[in-house]
């Protein structure tokens, strides 16, 4: 078992900056947890506290039921893979991978076996005699992962390991890390600001902003049931659309602006009880908006909504329409056969089963 439990963790840097505020979450044994958030939100600081590279200002971290606040990094049975790989330039790849094991005075045979085994898993056996500068970025990245694997740690920590790779290699390594997770049965905490990486790899995503955890959930939950406007807008590309709409109670509930008049489906009515006459922030994802001529028959189609098309972006398998509705910009991902033309009026349809609504003040989801 290698559960990692963070209990009310805080980090206040010596200059007084409060970088992590009351963080509570658990990385379960064999779980792949991604810490996700924009630059500066405190995710690397959190990872470094788990590794023991940063002091914890308040709260406790437990690994395997043991409080590790005061345990040295080397004694935490954790391996960290850094963004810049941190390879020793003068050593061969073999020695880079063997280094940590030599320090721990493992028998030579065992070191050899572990290095070769990791090299085989990562398909870098043919590179063991080279030095880091003779490798490509992707190969260096594999070596950095290999150096962690040979240690057979309880927990792997990854700090933006793919951010120095080009887009294509990143997609490839993403899949490889996921396979590796399954193959090694590893417990992983992984930091990234890339929501696609988080969505594709994580069992559980911890979304942070300004030092606070915003939501914890599996990829499906954080995408389909975002708890606040920040999470709703941060997860998904193109991002969720937001419209300020007024709630009107009249034989059910309606959401209005000049061009929009949406009847709230019965199943959501109860959430609007306290909002009659008030504005809410309405949310809908681009894929839940249809060209009126190509509405998905399984959707709960709204009445037609007038928009003014600004830009049409054909992507082949789908077309993005950037439109304006009552002065607010919206992106719709529609059927590529759309006949929408820039600068003309065009009618769209929303899937009412996929709507979101947020309180304007608290920015929290109504449902
Ligand atoms: P990035 O993706 O840019 O690495 P991050 O979410 O990982 O961002 P952290 O590196 O954890 O963010 O930093 C969180 C905040 O703490 C930032 O505002 C950063 O400027 C601040 N910070 C980091 N290290 C220190 C330090 N040693 N002293 C003071 N403030 C710091």
Mean pLDDT of 94-119: 95
Q: How far apart are the CA of 192 and the centre of ligand 1, in A?
A: 13
pLDDT exceeds cutoff 90 at 28: yes
Which of 140-144, 273-277, 280-284, 322-326 comes out lowest in average pLDDT? 140-144
CATH superfamily of the 241-359 domain:
Nucleic acid-binding proteins (2.40.50.140)
Q: Which of 11, 12, 13, 14 has the most ligand 1 atoms within 8 A of CB, as the residue to mutate?
A: 13
Q: What's the pTM value of the predicted model, to 2 decimals?
A: 0.94
Token reading at 211: 């030092």
Nearest to 11 by CA among 213, 214, 211: 211
The CATH number of domain 4-234 is 3.40.50.300? yes
Token reading at 212: 């606070």
Quick one: CA dihedral 102, 104, 109, 115, positive or negative? negative
Residue nearest to atom 31 of ligand 1 (CA): 13
Q: How far apart are the CA of 45 and the centre of ligand 1, in A?
A: 6
Reported in sequence order, the residue ranges of 71-142 that DSSP labels E, i.e. its strands, are: 78-81
Q: How far apart are the CA of 354 and the centre of ligand 1, in A?
A: 36
Query: Within 6 Å (CB) of ligand 1, which residues are found?
Result: 13, 15, 17, 19, 37, 39-45, 193
**Residue 144 — φ and ψ, nearest 5°?**
-60, -40
Q: For residues 225 and 237, what is the distance between their CA atoms, to the nearest angstrom?
A: 16
Q: Which of 18, 36, 41 has the most ligand 1 atoms within 8 A of CB, as the residue to mutate?
A: 41
Q: Cβ–Cβ contacts within 10 Å for residue 191, how many?
A: 26
What's the pLDDT tens digit per position in 251-309?
999 999 999 999 999 999 999 999 999 999 999 999 999 999 999 999 999 999 999 99
Q: Which pLDDT score, from 0 to 100, does residue 149 have? A: 92
Mean pLDDT of 40-53: 97
pLDDT exceeds cutoff 90 at 138: no
pLDDT exceeds cutoff 80 at 1: no
Nearest to 235 by CA among 33, 34, 36: 36
Residues 6+ apart with CB under 8 A from 115: 94, 97, 98, 101, 128, 146, 150
Q: For residues 170 and 63, what is the distance between their CA atoms, to the nearest angstrom?
A: 30
What's the pLDDT tens digit per position in 327-365?
999 999 999 999 999 999 999 999 999 999 999 999 999
CATH 3.40.50.300 intervals, the chain: 4-234
CATH 2.40.50.140 intervals, the chain: 241-359
Q: For residues 266 and 151, what is the distance between their CA atoms, to the nearest angstrom?
A: 56
Q: Which ranges in the chain belong to alpha helices (H)?
A: 43-51, 93-103, 108-121, 137-149, 167-184, 195-201, 219-224, 229-234, 266-269
Q: For residues 31 and 186, what is the distance between their CA atoms, to the nearest angstrom?
A: 7
Nearest to 229 by CA among 217, 245, 243: 243
Nearest to 69 by CA among 6, 20, 123, 125: 6
Atom of ligand 1 nearest to the CA of 45: 11
Residue nearest to atom 12 of ligand 1 (CA): 40
Buried/exposed 195-205: b ≥16 CB within 10 Å, e otherwise: bebbbebbebb
Q: For residues 165 and 229, what is the distance between their CA atoms, to the nearest angstrom?
A: 31
């Amino acid at each position: 078992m290698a559960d990692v439990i963070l209990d009310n963790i805080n980090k206040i840097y010596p200059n007084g900056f409060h970088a992590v505020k009351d963080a509570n979450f658990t990385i379960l044994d064999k779980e792949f947890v991604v810490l996700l958030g924009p630059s500066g939100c405190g995710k690397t600081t959190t990872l470094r506290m788990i590794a023991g590279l940063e002091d914890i200002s308040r709260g406790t971290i437990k690994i395997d039921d043991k409080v590790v606040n005061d345990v040295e990094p080397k004694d935490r049975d954790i391996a960290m893979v850094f963004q810049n790989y941190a390879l020793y330039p003068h050593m061969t790849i073999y020695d880079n991978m063997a280094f940590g094991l030599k320090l721990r005075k493992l028998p030579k045979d065992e070191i050899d076996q572990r290095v070769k085994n990791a090299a085989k898993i990562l398909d870098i056996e043919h590179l063991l005699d080279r030095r880091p500068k003779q490798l490509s970025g992707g190969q260096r990245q594999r070596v950095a992962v290999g150096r962690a694997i040979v240690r057979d740690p309880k927990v792997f920590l990854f700090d933006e390991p793919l951010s120095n790779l080009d887009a294509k290699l990143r997609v490839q390594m993403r899949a490889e890390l996921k396979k590796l997770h399954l193959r090694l049965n590893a417990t992983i905490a992984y930091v990234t600001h890339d929501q696609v990486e988080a969505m594709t790899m994580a069992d559980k995503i911890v979304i942070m902003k300004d030092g606070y955890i915003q939501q914890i959930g599996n990829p499906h939950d954080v995408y389909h049931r975002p708890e606040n406007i920040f999470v709703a807008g941060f997860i998904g590309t193109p991002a969720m659309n937001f419209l300020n709409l007024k709630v009107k109670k009249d034989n059910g509930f309606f959401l209005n602006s000049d061009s929009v008049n949406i009847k709230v489906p019965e199943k959501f009515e109860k959430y609007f009880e306290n909002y009659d006459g008030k504005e809410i922030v309405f949310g809908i994802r681009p894929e839940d908006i249809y060209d009126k001529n190509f509405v998905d028959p399984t959707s709960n189609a709204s009445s037609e909504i007038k928009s003014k098309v600004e830009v049409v972006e054909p992507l082949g398998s789908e077309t993005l329409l950037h439109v304006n509705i009552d002065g607010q910009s919206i992106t719709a991902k529609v059927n590529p056969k759309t006949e929408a033309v820039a600068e003309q009026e065009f009618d769209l349809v929303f899937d009412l089963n996929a709507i979101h609504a947020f309180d304007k003040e608290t920015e929290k989801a109504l449902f």
